[in-house]
Amino acid sequence: MSVLRQISAVVGMNLRNLPQRRGASLVIVIGIAGVVAVLLSVLAMAVGFSRTIAGAGSPDRALILSGGALQEAMSSVPSDAVPNITAAPGIARDSAGRPIVDAEVVAQVQVTHGDTGKPTNVALRGVGSEEFALRPEVHLVAGRLFRPGLHELIVGQSLKTRYGLDIGSHLSFQNGDWVVVGVFTSNGPDLLDSEILTDSQTLLSAYQRNWFQSVTVRLAGPGSFDQLKRALAADPTLHVDVYVESAFRAAQSRILNLILKWIGYFIGGMMAAGALFGALNSLYAAVSSRSLEIATLRAIGFGSGSVIVSVLAEALLLSIGGALIGALCAWIFFDGHVSSMMVSGLEPPIAFAMSVTPGLIVLGIVWACVIGLIGGLFPAIRAARLPVARALNAVV
């Protein structure tokens, strides 16, 4: 009991002393707030990106690419293969009994950024009449749907915001003038929100192609994926690979997600090293300024353990304070902030909402505590080893 009383008394004294060491304490708080803010903002990109890619896929849908294609852009499914795919088992049917299948073609078109005036590549996806049955999360928020046979487009909400592609805007490609007639969303920034949609047959015709990039189907139920996969593999006229759409998107995002995390940890680690030295300096100075106080307590009979705990408690308190400020900054400035990123194989730039999750905040606090503990440990040991007689006599 007296040990706890000792510790709480020394910790209390130490903390009450903090206002007198405001400058040095602020160095620790601001340093750690910076580390946590940067770490969380980069990791918030990784989380947001990952969610966006994952959100674009559904476990209820299967994506069919040409055999060996690792990305949609590298895939080519011949037009005459589509009826065989459509006829395969395991595919859900709409109210009219038609299989919910959409063969899609993807091209790239250039749009000009509304603010910078710079041209940017954007994905133009040709979709069929089953698109909205296939992806019920996609719906129009303005204007109307494109009509087959006409050069009409609908644009994702994030493209409208970023590039000013509003209804009535015109785009020129493949010797044609195309007009925006609608704006769609898919409930928050995801992969499709960064794309332009049009009628697939019209697009094939404009590009004079007779092959699609992919075929997406809605699965009839649990176990349907294996059934579909087996059937397509058994068809000698087809050479295709079948993926659960959500798993395919997650795999696509995995490497970039990993890179973003490494960037976050690397930058965060470098900054943490800086903050660590700041904390070490400040806490050494704090121990030095309190050496008479510490020596007096030790002379009275307080143990070195309580002195160590008091220095570590100060370091932890300041670190947690810094972490909360850093997390708050990251949350205020970055949570929900829509950013975009160019990804190989997933062009155009993908818009995604950065997400500062509770898990990331806890991670930031853990980082801060580790910095605080390492930064406080050596000054705490110095305080505990302070030669009492010498510290007392140094003042006399």
Partner 1 sequence: MSSVASLHNVIKRYVRGKQTIEVLHQLDLEVPSGQFLALMGPSGSGKTTLLNLIGGLDRPTAGEVIVAGERIDQLSSGQLAKWRARHVGFVFQFYNLMPMLSAERNIELPLLLTSLSSAQRKRNVAAALELVGLTTHAKHKPSELSGGQQQRVAIARALIADPTLLVCDEPTGDLDRASASDILGLIQTLNRQQGKAVIMVTHDQKAADYASRILHVDKGQLVEAADRSAATAA
For partner 1, the binding residues (CB under 8 A) are 1-2, 5-6, 9, 13, 16-17, 292-293, 296-304, 388-389, 392-393, 395-396
Of 10 and 39, nearer to partner 1 (C-beta) is 10
Question: Is residue 104 within a helix (H) or strand (E), and if so which, with residue range?
Answer: strand 101-112
Letter for the amino acid at 345?
G
Of 10 and 111, nearer to partner 1 (C-beta) is 10
Q: How many CA atoms lie within 13 A of 217 on its CB side?
A: 28
Query: Rounded to whole angstroms, how far apart are CA atoms 184 and 160?
Result: 9
Burial class of residue 284, CB neighbours in 10 A (0-12, 13-18, 19+): middle
Least separation in angstroms between CB 297 and partner 1:
7
Of 172 and 393, nearer to partner 1 (C-beta) is 393
Of 96 and 300, nearer to partner 1 (C-beta) is 300
Least separation in angstroms between CB 256 and partner 1:
53
Dihedral of the alpha carbons of 201, 207, 213, 217, in degrees to the nearest 10: -10
Question: Is residue 127 within a helix (H) or strand (E), and if so which, with residue range?
Answer: strand 119-127
Query: Rounded to whole angstroms, how far apart are CA atoms 118 and 134?
Result: 34
Query: Rounded to whole angstroms, how far apart are CA atoms 368 and 320?
Result: 6
Of 5 and 139, nearer to partner 1 (C-beta) is 5
Least separation in angstroms between CB 314 and partner 1:
14
Of 179 and 285, nearer to partner 1 (C-beta) is 285
Least separation in angstroms between CB 388 and partner 1:
5
Q: What is the CA radius of gyration of the chain?
A: 30
Least separation in angstroms between CB 377 and partner 1:
19
Least separation in angstroms between CB 292 and partner 1:
6
